[in-house]
Structure 1
Amino acid sequence: MGGPYCVYPGRLTLRTAALVSFVVLLWMVVDEAPGSVGKVNIFSVAEKEASTPLVAGDHRRSTPAMETFLSDVQEHTKTPNDGKTAIDGESAELQQEFHQRHAHLLRECQRLNITKSSFPPSYWRRGNEVNVPEHLRMCVPNKVGSSSWKKNVKPKVENIVPGGQRNVEAIIVRHPLSRLTSAYRDKYLSGEPISNYDDEWRSTTQSGETWSQRWFSYWLPALISKGVIQPTEKFTKMLDLSVDAYNFLVRKIDISSPDDLQISVATELYGDIILQTGLGMIYNGRFVALLQASVYGFNNRDKLMEQFGNASFTFQDFLRHVVWTHNLGMMDRHWMTFTEDCEPCRRKYQYILRLENIAPEFNYLLQQVLGYPDTIPFSLTHRSKHHANKSDLHFYNDVPKDIMNTVLNIYKHDIQLFSYNEKIV
């Protein structure tokens, strides 16, 4: 079977690097049931990422970067609605709530001293942005209504020119612990055997991913983190070389406009495959290294798919996997932190919307702020099957304290910046 990647003849050129910035990595996987040999499909590794752990400095010190950030934000931000439109009681409450959330975000960013230097290159972050040109720029992370925006909202707003404020920036968030249960329900089938991920399941959940795509992206890495499958030397070496290539590219190459000489030097050092992976980590996220190592790192992958094709994952398995990917610095975009994914202490978000109250908050933003004439419902697209009657709290009932504390530590900035409680109620 051929290698699951897009082969570039000869050395990577500037043109090739530009193509990589849009498509990044194309890799071929068997689009059949585990253990069988079938036709080969190609899919793009798009809109997934993970990050290195965030580093926050001493909150008692104020840095020039932070002072500039606060000054820019306060200058840029207008009071919600600006008093130009008469608003009812509910809208007045939302206006006050938005103001309080924004003020809290500014205070916490300053207290935590989260500055621009805390973050790696951000080219991949463009994948979770939604835009109404000249009016709205909004970060909608995965598992926080991104599918609903693309399928239900975007078609209704893209052909309407709003008449309200311009250049508004917003973000949608949800309780981090609730977001984790959503990712588990979706990507790990709420603990059901992965063999259940068939055509009926994909139709019900509106998933476009094949069984094999899920295997390499989620299930094989989770089996490795669980200790069921031992990483091979090839797997480990691929991870290490990819990280080296990523760090080299970040330090030595102007990624926004790489020239042929730069790419030639990098190709000589790492070869085409590792270089592709390093570029993919920059343009699509560091998770790409884990994905490529999962694809390339096992010579017996068909046998593994057949042997573990009926595997299942408990919620504790999933949380341990989240911790494992965090420690690698390769968290998937479906559970990476908002702090890293949307950079709330770097961007100038005037409006922080919560998924828990999305309908009225979204319509306030569209009508009272942007000036859309009609109500546009933000109907949520649920991408999980079965167990819908189980609350988020149900999943955490039996989680050991050590795992829970580790998870809370990973998401502590999300909880602090957006005023969430550490407990799900």
Structure 2
Amino acid sequence: MVNLAELGTLTLDGAIEEAEPVLLAMAWELATSTWSGSVPVTLIGFGRSTADHNPDRFRHFTSVDEFSKADATPPSVVLSAEPFDVKQRECLAAVVAASTAASDGWRLDVSTKSTLIDDLGIEVEFQRLTVDQAEELVATLTAEVKAEQMPANDSPNVPAEPPSATGPELRLLGPVGLHNVDPTKVEGKKINRLTELAAFLLLHPGATAEEISRQLGTDTRPWSPATRQGYISRLRTWLGHDENGDLYLPNIEVNGGGYHLSKSMNSDWHRFRQLVGSGPNRDVSDRRARLEAALELVTGMPFSSIGPGRYAWNSWHQREMIDAIVDAAHMLAEICQQDGDLPAARRAILRGLLAEPVSELLYRDLLRVEHRAGNRTAVKDAAGKLADIAAALDVDLDEETATLVDTLLGSGEGRLTRHLHCTHPNTSR
């Protein structure tokens, strides 16, 4: 905890891609902490969506020049991804990216995991929040607000089927691909890049031009404006129009607020969420049918079969998809076991393991199913695979897993209980 008002200026030494996650974490700390509730905050050169989500607290400027020209800017805590002369501006305190100008405050190195604060004689590790994580945070909080505003007895009418059976569809729950489009309409060597661009826009609605350039390029060589616009134009042409004559990738002037794919653009991930997101009041048979339909969309680990160095922005989304698939497979397996349908339970578990081959939760489900089926050999095989996974990853398995194997096979019968120490109780997966 730093008293910014007393310190005055905090300068972050490091490249912008190293400083921005630190600035974003600071912004969200200021936005959510009760002690800073009355402090106005100005963001410069980063965090537009963060500011838009907190309009009562935050002001956003794209550059120092725009900030300097603003009329009657009230004194505030300024977080800037661009260097500027703090002394020329009236502000409560400032945290700025590195510059060559001397600073009366602290200079902290953000290029390493931890940094030494000479004035205090301690080493600290900064909180960091990536752009993708901040976008996910905004989306989650926005969804929560909408859910709170919806009457308790009013559930959204979510279609179980895609908007169009013939329009373009992104497949992300397995090998990535863009389906129902004509591959001959674009250069073959650009298909992978265009598919990644489509996936990025689908999962980051409202992305700015700068975000696209940074995320689809590399840290050292982001896409130039010409490269970015060329790919966007090619993707717009490739996707074409929906049945109403509207573009699947509208011009930014039409939709405003960044780049969006049309609501009629389909994906297996959106269909999956529609199917598993039904309310708890649905009867068990309907719930089972929807979960089965959702798992049919899973063809492997999400975002698999992508080229090296691509989709560097997707780790957050991939983890979310994997967790959702594991949860759906576990839930369906339990429903099928309650129905006495062990083959269906087994199919659900194996489909989930396509997405997460090392899920202990699903392996425990499989152990129980094979035990109920009287298939002791399959129980020993599943326990052996768990032992292989633990050895390959050099990890300890859950105490619950070891206890289950002991119960089903007898103490010391499986390789899992003979050779592995299990020291992680109460782990969910």
Identify the TM-score tier after normalising by the shorter chain.
under 0.3
Structure with more contact order per residue of length (Cα contacts < 8 Å, sep ≥ 6): 1
Structure 1 length as normaliser, TM-score?
Answer: 0.26
Report the structure number with the largest CA radius of gyration.
2
